Amino acid sequence: IESAHLVGNSLGAAVSLRMAGQNAARARSLLLANSATLGSEVFPVFKVMTLPWLGEVMNKPSPKSAEMQIKAIVHRAQAITPQVHAAIERNTHRPGAAGHFLATLRMLTTLRGQKPATWQESHRLLRELKIPALILHGRQDGVLPTKHSEQAHALAPGSELLILDDCGHTPQL
């Protein structure tokens, strides 16, 4: 792929930002939706999940895991269609997914929140950004605070900020 428009939500947005930083000449534009790794604050449950054993118990796929995930990421859970609910349930039960999520979470987060080296690197990349960037955030996000996206917008030259009302952690839903 010679060039791409990079789009991501949450951890996917953090990956998109890293990709733009690794090969800026190939990145055409960037959309960061409720991006992770922009500041230290994070969903309290994620902090607890960094602890050995507790994270495995809390992240174990179960009939309730999809319901709990939906409550965490969507502002109005009752608005989720059966098709989206089924997709979230498939994702929470995918073999190996829980282990990969925990490994990534523990790499980025401690009981104090997202690791300073992680969000400081994101801030450096944002300051050096030379492509069009849209920073999007749901005002009712319970996972990551809106102020992270506001700070990212202040750091990224020429970026655009869009805060969506009546929206949680997954504006694409």
Q: What is the pLDDT of residues 78-119, one digit of tens each?
A: 888 999 988 888 888 889 988 999 999 999 999 999 999 999
Q: Is the pLDDT of residue 142 over 80?
A: yes
What average pLDDT does range 142-161 have in this prediction? 97
Percent of residues, the chain, with pLDDT higher than 90: 74
| Percent of the chain residues topping a pLDDT of 70 | 100
| Predicted pLDDT at 88 | 86
pLDDT at 166 over 80: yes
Average pLDDT, the chain: 93
pLDDT at position 85 is 87
| 5 touches 77 (CB < 8 A) | no
Give pLDDT, residue 138: 97
2: left (phi over 0), alpha (psi -120 to 50) or beta: alpha
The pLDDT value given to residue 79:
83
Is the pLDDT reported for residue 63 higher than 80? Answer: no
Inter-CA distances, 70 with 17, 99, 118, Å:
25, 19, 26
